[in-house]
């Protein structure tokens, strides 16, 4: 996937935002794994200026949904 990261970055960010908008479950393992993949692409896929709003919205969702009753899960979410 990494060689094609620049093509997949925008659609994956948008997909993550849509999942957050349509779900009230907060962070789940699928979203966490997807975000870890996005973070691993930091050297090959940098969001364009057009992606700025989507990235900001994704960060906002992450901050709003990082809390959890289980302290280990919360620590993992914050480490992300």
Residue 18: give the domain boundaries: 2-79
Instruction: Give per-residue pLDDT as tens, 7-29.
Output: 999 999 999 999 988 887 778 88
Pick the more confident residue, 62 or 72: 62
Task: Give the predicted TM-score (pTM) of the model.
Answer: 0.79
- Total residue count of the chain as it appears in this document: 80
For residue 77, what pLDDT is reported?
66
For residue 14, what pLDDT is reported?
94
Domains of the chain: total: 1
For residue 79, what pLDDT is reported?
74
Q: Which two tokens stand for residue 17?
A: 């935002």
Instruction: Give per-residue pLDDT as tens, 20-70.
Output: 888 877 788 888 899 989 989 988 888 888 888 999 999 898 888 777 777
- Contacts (Cβ under 8 Å, ≥6 apart) of 59: none
To which residue do tokens 């094609």 refer?
4
């Amino acid at each position: 996937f990494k060689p094609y990261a620049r093509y997949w970055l925008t659609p994956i960010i948008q997909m993550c935002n849509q999942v957050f908008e349509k779900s009230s479950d907060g962070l789940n393992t699928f979203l966490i794994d997807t975000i870890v993949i996005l973070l691993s692409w930091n050297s090959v896929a940098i969001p364009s200026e057009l992606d700025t709003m989507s990235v900001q919205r994704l960060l906002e969702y992450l901050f709003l949904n990082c809390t959890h009753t289980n302290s280990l899960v919360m620590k993992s979410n914050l480490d992300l």
